Structure 1
Amino acid sequence: MSEEFAIIDLFAGPGGLGEGFSRAGRDPASRMKIRLSVEMDDYAIQTLRLRAFLRSFEDFPREYYEALNAGDPLPEWADLYPNQWKHAVSEVRQGVLGAEGVFEELACELDRARETYNGNTILIGGPPCQAYSLAGRSRNKGKADYVPEDDERHYLYREYVRILDRLRPAAFVMENVKGMLSSKVDGGGIFSKVLDDLENAGDGYRLLPLARPAPADGSRAAAQDFLIRAEDHGVPQARHRVIILGIRSDLAEGLVLNGPLVPPHPAQISVNDVIGDLLRLRSGLSSKDDFEAWQAALRDQATAIAASDEVPDEIRELALSLSTANDIPRLRSSQWKAEATSMPEHLRAWFADSRLEATLQHETRGHIPQDLGRYLYSAAFTRAFGSSPKLIEFPEFLQPQHKNRASGDFADRFRTQAANRPATTVTSHISKDGHYFIHPDPYQCRSLTVREAARLQTFPDNYLFSGPRTKQYHQVGNAVPPFLAWQIAKAVRGLLG
């Protein structure tokens, strides 16, 4: 049996990276175990602690399934299993990395992990990305007094480096947005500074790309080589992220890499592959909701679309059929077991839990009647033409009454996720509204549920997100896809022997 490695997870979010690494670590040949997770968000902390508690059992406790399957609140775990719950609370620490005193609080824990595991530790995590993301940079440009050098978010990665210096792990994995490659501060690109600091941290690290072969001469890979496309690795989502793997210099000597550490999957996974088996749900109305009111609002919108000369014939025909349909889905309950009949086998095994008899957190938002019309039009257009319409392609009577709608900044404002392709990137914006994440089935006429977003992010079906629905969406959008993290974890552990 191989030596066990301890995982330290920074900026952990709801635990996407940690879920992948801990799942890979269950293999007796490549044992890894989360020792510490650090996160600042209240609800993500609750999610992480619940998952840490569940992982302390060989099989999740029966009380977990009894509550979920019945739709009941979870029991008080501290009363039922005090030792396991105490361990979970100790493993998951709430703190703002970079705030005064937080590093000092963690330092003893880092030292203890390094000594207990004889240096066999792995550091993972992704510093917050708002300063690097294209959307964040666009917002910052609109601020008259914005100075990149004064934005502390550009330098949060240094807290990661600071902990890397202290822990001196055998390996680390740092994740961030694609925008890090082009972000500039202090007159130059931030990415080269990040790579320099990571390379020189602790005892020194060799930096390796995950999706392409490393340079044979041991030199640093090109910046673009650190970009990994999640859809090329079995994730049903076009999520492009910078992922940097570092191997401690003493372990990297003589290391031979014959190809990509995360080999591509033979075929991309589509939206329909992973959410097509879930129960069809109608949306709700933002105002007083009942089925008759919803159906009347939807039929009014469908009738207007079918009667418009601005609308392509293919969409008018579908809208006309919907305006007279009586088989619109009525259920909104999550207490229903998904049957993954058409899902690829490897993902069916990844998502499934035979003890789970309910589909968790699969409930819809309410929408205003005008948005029902826009969602219907967008979904019907996407079904007919294979891609979601730009805002300019909507008929005038469906255009939102926004002052800046003609600016071009919101061209994808009502975007349907095409059924036969990977989804666009699931982001935390999904917590604000569902306009960029419209379900591909025009008859459902709604945005994605938390569970559908979680499926696109490859969270297992028994993964429960804490907090109100808006906070659940936010956690899902901020996560690393666990299925990709699992592949990375196996590759990292394979290099460490």
Structure 2
Amino acid sequence: MAKGGEFTAIDLFCGAGGLSEGFRQSGFHILAGNDFDEWAGATFAKTHSEAKFLGGPIQDITTGALLKAAGLKKGQLDCLIGGPPCQAFSVYNHQRGMHDDRSQLFKEYLRMVEELEPNWVVMENVTGITSAGQGAAVKAILSGLEKLGYTVDKQILRAEEYGVPQERRRIVFIGNKLGKPILFPEATHGEGLTPFTTIFDAIGDLPELENGEDNGGTGYLTAPETDYQKLLRGNSAEVLNHSAPRLAPINMERMKHIPQGGSWRDIPFELLPDGMKRARRCDHTKRYGRMSWSGLSCTILTKCDLHWGAYLHPEQDRSITVREAARIQSFPDWFCFEGPRTEQYVQVGNAVPPLLGRKIGEAVLRADAIDVRDNSQNDLALAS
């Protein structure tokens, strides 16, 4: 544990730092991060000034370098967090499977666990990992951690049930070597709970833009109108990463026909792309989709492209901006993404929503506080 009683964490495959930002909000002190992506690393370094960033493939990173960067010795780290690249397991990758080199990177995470000996481990990935290779990766992760002396469990979490305005599923592995129970965060939003956070809750206060417009950093459209807007704005005075991609005239014409909650089915047949003219009405359900103010977003991907999903603004005829995508991912407004705009979208789409990360971090801290010698406290925690 860090000086001052802070719990410590190192983030592997950190990307821009969505998971570590969530853990930081829950009370962890982020000491170091690693990723091979140059622009994501630049964002992590800028937004995590208290942490050391080690760039490059994880295969080239030694635990000695990580411990030196973190200022720790083996066995002193509280929690190792991270999400090995998920493209090999994504349902959007139709060739997904264990043959993909990226599907083996979880073994590097296990190597780091073995050599760092953290008290807690948290790994996340897409739910497609449960079916790729008949679940071989999941079995290997569970057995690998157990062989290293960790009690471990897994659970699929729905981001929208924790206040994120987006339909997003992630499988989360949590383990510890302390004999503590494994706790997962309880849902806070949904039926019988707080209503889901909507698209309006998320982006309704952001400045209006024309197709292709870029005003640089600019002020807000309105005062914060929802608790979610207040939370993510904090003390920010300007809106960063808020510029609209320029869409072709034909797409501008198509958008005129798409209402809120609509999609490619609302576009006149003669305006459809040739490939979609041959599509069945049940195909491509999210293509050319327009968001609804009162609904949730589809999963934010590494491209908020109208050919990929429902990424049209509810009212304005344009695709959502990086900042709007970041809001839907629950990044705070001060969190500035570095690099070309295409790379910024990649960073946002690859990230764990910080609000989900925060809930996971809080669950770890709650479990860590349990005195395993007190069976009544242990039973109460597991029942909660």
TM-score bracket for the superposition, by shorter chain length: 0.7 to 0.9
Aligned counterpart, 2:376? none
| Among 150, 175, 180, the residue aligned to 2:99 | 150
Change (3 A) 1:167 1:409: farther
C-alpha displacement of 1:47? 0.5
Select 1:242's aligned residue among 171, 178, 182: 171
1:198 and 2:198 correspond: no
Distance 2:31 2:249 in 1: 49
- Counterpart check, 1:231 vs 2:111: no
For 2:90, give the aligned amino acid: S
User: Whole-Å Cα distance in 1 between the matches of residues 216 and 307 of structure 2?
Assistant: 21
Tell me which residue corresponds to 1:388: 262
Provide structure 2 residue ranges, at least 5 long, that are not aligned to the other structure: 370-384
TM-score (normalizing by structure 2): 0.86
AA aligned to 1:178 is T
Q: What residue is the counterpart of 2:242 in the other structure?
A: 362
* 2-structure distance, mates of 1:420, 1:274: 10
Deviation at 1:474, TM superposition (A): 1.0
The one-letter code of the counterpart of 2:325 is A
Alignment check: 8 A CA contact 1:434 1:448 kept: no
Residue 333 and residue 155 in structure 1: after superposition, are their counterparts in 2 closer, same or farther (change >3 A)?
A: closer
CA distance in 2, matches of 1:457, 1:126: 16
Change in CA separation of 1:432 and 1:158 when aligned onto 2, cut-off 3 Å: farther
Structural mapping, 1:118-197, within 5 Å = 119-136=76-93, 138=94, 140=95, 148-184=97-133, 189-197=136-144
Matched AA of 2:232: F
Aligned to 1:11: 13
Q: Classify 1:22/1:431 alpha carbon distance in 2 versus 1 (closer, same or farther; 3 Å).
A: farther
Amino acid at match of 1:94: G
Q: Partner of 1:472: helix, strand, or coil?
A: helix
Distance in 1 (CA, whole Å) between partners of 2:336 and 2:69 is 31
Q: CA deviation at 1:175?
A: 0.7
Superposition deviation, residue 256 in structure 1:
8.1
- Tell me by how many angstroms 1:465 deviates: 0.3
1:198 aligned partner, one-letter code: L
In structure 2, how many angstroms separate the alpha carbons of the residues matched to 1:340 and 1:117?
A: 48
Distance 1:261 1:333, change over 3 A: closer
1:435-446 correspondence to structure 2 within 5 Å:
436-441=310-315, 444-446=316-318
The structure 2 residue matched to 1:458, chosen from 317, 330, 346, is: 330
Partner of 1:85: none
CA spacing shift, 1:108–1:36, aligned 2, 3 Å: same
Look up the equivalent residue of 1:277 and give its one-letter code. D
The answer (yes or no) to whether the contact 1:430–1:474 under 8 Å persists in 2 is no
Q: Aligned partners of 2:326, 2:105: CA distance in 1, in Å?
A: 27
Selected match of 1:207 from 152, 162, 171: 152
Q: Per-residue displacement from partner, 1:143-180 (whole Å, max 9, x unpaired)?
A: xxxxx453222211111111111111111111100111
- Structure 1 gap ranges (5+): 26-31, 57-87, 142-147, 210-225, 285-329
- Distance in 2, matches of 1:337 and 1:358, equals 7
Rounded to whole Å, the distance in 1 between the matches of 2:115 and 2:166 is 35
The aligned counterpart of 1:268 is: 196
Over 3 Å counting, the alpha-carbon distance change for 1:410 and 1:494 in structure 2 is same
> Which residue among 299, 304, 319 is the counterpart of 1:430?
304
Closer/same/farther in 2, CA of residues 106 and 340 from structure 1, 3 Å limit? farther
Count of aligned positions: 362
SS at match of 1:491: helix
C-alpha distance in structure 1 between counterparts of 2:130 and 2:20, whole Å: 24
CA positional deviation for 1:350: 2.5
1:339 equivalent to 2:222? Answer: yes
Task: Supply the AA of the counterpart residue of 1:261.
Answer: P
Give the distance between the partners of 1:5 and 1:156, measured in 2 at CA.
26
Q: Distance in 1 between matches of 2:163 and 2:349?
A: 18
Is the CA contact 1:282–1:332 (under 8 Å) kept in the aligned structure 2? no
Q: Could you give the per-residue CA deviations for residues 358-380 of structure 1, whole angstroms, max 9, x where no partner exists?
A: 111111111111101222222x2
| Cα 1:486–1:402 shift into 2, 3 Å | same
What root-mean-square deviation, in Å, do the aligned CA atoms of Structure 1 and Structure 2 show?
2.6
- 2:358 paired residue number: 486
Residues 240 and 323 in structure 2, CA contact (< 8 A), matched pair in contact too: yes
Amino acid paired to 2:107: R
CA 1:114 to 1:496, structure 2 compared with 1: closer, same or farther past 3 Å? farther
Specify the alignment match of 2:340 in structure 1.
468
Q: Which residue of 2 aligns with 1:44?
A: 40
TM (normalized to structure 1)? Answer: 0.67
Please name the residue that 1:84 is paired with: none
Q: Is the 8 A contact 2:19 2:82 kept in 1?
A: yes
Code of the aligned partner of 1:14: A
Q: 1:92 corresponds to which residue?
A: 53
Rg bigger for which structure? 1
